[in-house]
């Protein structure tokens, strides 16, 4: 059962939210005048207004925003150009090929998502500060933590961004350095973490708590060498240990149960956005990844778009390297994975592969274009990807099945979108320990994750490579991979092997300008105080 309190404040917050989508335009139209000392009389009224800031998170689960730029620019996800479908002016190809251009609308959408959320937090902080209610400071602290989350994502994606905290300041903001943004987020978190709630219950579900704020700080420290040039492994480990040892979280016995339709049951998820197909729509992965014919498999009310696919090499990383030494991956031959019995990673539930069927059990076929199927019938999702452009096969690529698809569902999913969960904390602690030379402790932590995955033997030794690989298998499409590739100095490797591209491959050294996305061109044109990131002028 969905948390009715959260649904209620999301709906009321959505109705009240009239905010600018860019930090360049800080003025908003006022539709009514509600004075803080007249409206905010009790907790319920604060929560109803607070929902607007959280509602901004609803952009995470749909196409062409922050999630898309992080995943398509990594070695996890590609959206191939399939004949007449999904070329879209080449914007998806340039994302995957690391040929980023400032006029790519995906960057503008991501910027608007981030600074729309920041602006809404600023507006509500400004409003709450006008209340003399003694509970106001606790809600201001929560908003500051949420604003820190938006700024953390902006820091990671764009690096050098404006710092806007005063809603009443109408002057156009200037660019701040990545170091300044890092320092701001850290200072904010240090001040508000002691003020945030610690409970894991209906009252805090989908909201910032001490544990989610600690996780933002842990992520800052984990990536500190990338962001500032100075590693902070011990501080990252300390925050991770506090979450693990003091937080109210535990690993779910079964990995995929963190992503079922009713995943509010998860004991592992630390921060989520509570989507709902009626009340809080926008989680569209079922449309983004499934084939158009998959409508008959799940009895969907809408026809999917046949877009997002898994990079074949990433899918193949799910082979068990302990039981299958030297095997490159679960090689696809027609319909079967070439692995020995008992060696399948339970996290292969992340993918939909193989023959596809209608809901009545009959074999599903691809109708093709005007009834002529250029890829061959019957419909079979193959991990194999022939090329990125222009002739990508419509059946190619393992599809994203991490979140359970609802039978009879709509184009909007009701699964809660997982932003942070405990297994990421455990693997982050393992990495911090490994880099500090505490390899025995790190090995035990990684094996804890492997044990939960099922059918996997424990590692006997831990290397940087198998630590990186285990993070990939566990955290697939959770908006961590691009960050991990950069931190492990693998982001510029030539991991895309296919021909038929419209632009050359990008192979770049660690620390190159491609590790930051460009400031969107519309923002630069609208605000001359903004400075483009190096390499994009």
CATH of the domain at 102: 1.25.40.390
Please check whether residues 48 and 169 belong to one and the same domain.
yes
Please check whether residues 186 and 57 belong to one and the same domain.
yes
Report which DSSP code applies to 28: -
Residue 359 domain-assigned? yes
* Token pair listed for 177: 């350095």
Peptide bond into 249 cis (omega under 30): no
Please check whether residues 56 and 180 belong to one and the same domain.
yes
Residue 208, C-beta contacts closer than 8 angstroms, at least 6 positions apart: 142, 145, 146, 149, 196, 271
Q: What's the rounded Cα separation, in Å, for the pair 474 and 66? A: 20
DSSP string, 16-27: H----SSTT---
Residue 387 domain-assigned? yes
Q: In this structure, how many other beta carbons lie within 10 angstroms of the beta carbon of residue 333? A: 9
Residue 287 domain-assigned? no
Classify the C-alpha dihedral 200-206-207-209 as positive or negative. Answer: positive
Q: How many domains does the chain have?
A: 2
Query: Which class for 470: exposed (0-12), middle (13-18), buried (19 or more C-beta within 10 A)?
Result: buried
Residue 112 domain-assigned? yes
Residue 481 parent element (H or E): helix 481-487
What was the pLDDT predicted at 537?
Answer: 85
What was the pLDDT predicted at 35?
Answer: 55
User: How many residues can be counted in the chain?
Assistant: 537
Please check whether residues 391 and 521 belong to one and the same domain.
no
3-state secondary structure of 433: helix
Domain-terminating residue out of 405, 429, 456: 405
Residue 83 domain-assigned? yes
3-state secondary structure of 360: coil
Helices 233-246 and 210-222: crossing angle in degrees, nearest 10, is 160
Q: What's the rounded Cα separation, in Å, for the pair 422 and 245? A: 11
What was the pLDDT predicted at 29?
Answer: 43
What was the pLDDT predicted at 342?
Answer: 52
Residue 256 domain-assigned? no
Please check whether residues 400 and 523 belong to one and the same domain.
no
Residue 375 domain-assigned? yes
Peptide bond into 275 cis (omega under 30): no
Domain-terminating residue out of 379, 405, 431: 405
DSSP string, 117-166: HHHHHHHHHHHHTT---TTHHHHHHHHHHHHHHHHHHHHHHTSS-B----
**Which residue, chain included where needed, has tokens 């510029």?**
492
Whole-structure pTM value? 0.91
* Rounded alpha-carbon distances, angstroms, from residue 374 to 56, 83, 326, 393, 442: 41, 10, 35, 8, 49
Domain-terminating residue out of 351, 379, 405: 405
- Containing domain of residue 381, as a range? 309-405
Please check whether residues 191 and 56 belong to one and the same domain.
yes
The answer to whether residues 41 and 244 touch, using CB atoms and an 8 Å cutoff, is no
Angle at 290 between CA 287 and CA 260, to 5 degrees: 75
Sequential pLDDT tens for the chain (537 residues): 444 344 444 433 443 333 333 333 333 444 344 555 667 889 999 999 999 999 999 999 999 999 999 999 999 999 999 999 999 999 999 999 889 999 999 999 999 999 999 999 999 999 999 999 999 999 999 999 999 999 999 999 999 999 999 998 889 999 999 999 999 999 999 999 999 999 999 999 999 999 999 999 999 999 999 999 999 999 999 999 999 999 999 999 999 999 999 999 999 999 999 999 999 999 999 999 999 999 999 999 999 999 999 999 999 999 766 666 655 445 443 333 444 445 689 999 999 999 999 999 999 988 765 444 555 578 999 999 888 999 999 999 999 999 999 999 999 999 999 999 999 999 999 999 999 999 999 999 999 999 999 889 999 999 999 999 999 999 999 999 999 999 999 998 765 554 334 555 567 788 899 999 999 999 999 999 999 999 998
Angle at 87 between CA 159 and CA 512, to 5 degrees: 25
Residue of 420, 430, 436 lying closest to 450 (CA atoms): 430
Radius of gyration of the chain (CA): 23
Residue 374 domain-assigned? yes
Residue of 455, 436, 456, 432 lying closest to 445 (CA atoms): 432
Q: In this structure, how many other beta carbons lie within 10 angstroms of the beta carbon of residue 135? A: 13
* Rounded alpha-carbon distances, angstroms, from residue 47 to 40, 271, 388: 9, 17, 46
Q: In this structure, how many other beta carbons lie within 10 angstroms of the beta carbon of residue 228? A: 16
């Amino acid at each position: 059962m969905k948390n009715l309190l959260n649904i209620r404040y999301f709906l009321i917050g959505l109705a009240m939210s009239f905010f600018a989508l860019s930090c360049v335009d800080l003025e908003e139209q006022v539709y009514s005048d509600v004075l803080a000392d007249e409206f905010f009389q009790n907790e319920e009224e604060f929560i109803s207004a607070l929902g607007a800031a959280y509602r901004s998170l609803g952009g995470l689960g749909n196409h062409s925003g922050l999630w898309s730029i992080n995943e398509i620019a990594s070695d996890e996800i590609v959206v191939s150009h399939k004949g007449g479908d999904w070329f879209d002016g080449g914007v998806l190809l340039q994302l995957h090929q690391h040929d980023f251009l400032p006029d790519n609308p995906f960057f503008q959408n991501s910027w608007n998502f981030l600074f729309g959320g920041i602006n809404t937090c600023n507006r509500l902080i400004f409003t709450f500060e006008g209340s003399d209610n003694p509970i106001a400071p606790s809600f201001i602290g929560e908003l500051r933590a949420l604003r820190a989350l938006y700024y953390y994502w902006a820091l990671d994606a764009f690096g050098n961004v404006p710092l806007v905290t005063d809603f009443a300041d109408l002057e156009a903001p200037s660019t701040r350095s990545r170091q300044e943004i890092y320092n701001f987020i850290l200072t904010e978190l240090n001040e508000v973490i002691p003020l945030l709630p610690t409970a894991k219950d209906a009252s805090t579900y989908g909201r910032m708590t001490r544990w989610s704020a600690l996780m933002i700080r842990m992520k800052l420290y984990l990536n500190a060498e990338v962001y500032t040039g100075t590693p902070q492994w011990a501080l990252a480990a300390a925050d991770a240990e506090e979450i693990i040892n003091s937080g109210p979280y535990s690993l779910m016995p079964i990995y995929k149960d963190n992503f079922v339709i009713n995943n509010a049951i998860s004991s592992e998820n630390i921060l989520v956005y509570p989507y709902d197909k009626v009340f809080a729509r926008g989680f569209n992965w079922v449309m983004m990844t499934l084939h158009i014919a998959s409508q008959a498999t799940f009895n969907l009310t809408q026809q999917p778009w046949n877009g997002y696919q898994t990079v074949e090499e990433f899918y193949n990383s799910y082979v068990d390297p302990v039981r299958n030494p030297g095997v490159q991956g679960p090689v696809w031959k027609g319909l079967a994975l070439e692995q020995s019995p008992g060696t399948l990673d339970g996290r292969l539930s992340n993918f939909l592969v193989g023959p596809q069927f209608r809901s009545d059990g009959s074999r599903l076929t691809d109708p093709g274009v005007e009834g002529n199927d250029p890829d061959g019938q019957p419909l079979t999702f193959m991990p194999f990807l022939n090329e990125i452009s222009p002739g990508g096969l419509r059946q190619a690529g393992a599809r994203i099945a991490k979140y359970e698809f609802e039978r009879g569902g709509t184009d909007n999913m009701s699964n809660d979108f997982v932003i942070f969960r405990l297994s990421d904390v455990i693997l982050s602690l393992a990495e911090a320990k490994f880099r500090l030379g505490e390899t025995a402790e790190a090995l035990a932590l990684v094996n804890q994750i492997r044990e939960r995955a099922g059918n996997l033997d424990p590692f006997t030794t831990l290397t940087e490579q198998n630590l990186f690989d285990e993070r990939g298998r566990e955290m697939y499409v959770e908006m961590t991979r691009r960050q991990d590739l950069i931190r492990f100095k693998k982001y510029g490797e030539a991991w895309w092997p296919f021909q038929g591209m419209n632009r050359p491959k990008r192979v770049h050294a660690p620390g190159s300008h491609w590790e930051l996305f460009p400031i969107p061109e519309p923002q630069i044109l609208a605000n001359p105080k903004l400075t483009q990131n190096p390499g994009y002028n």
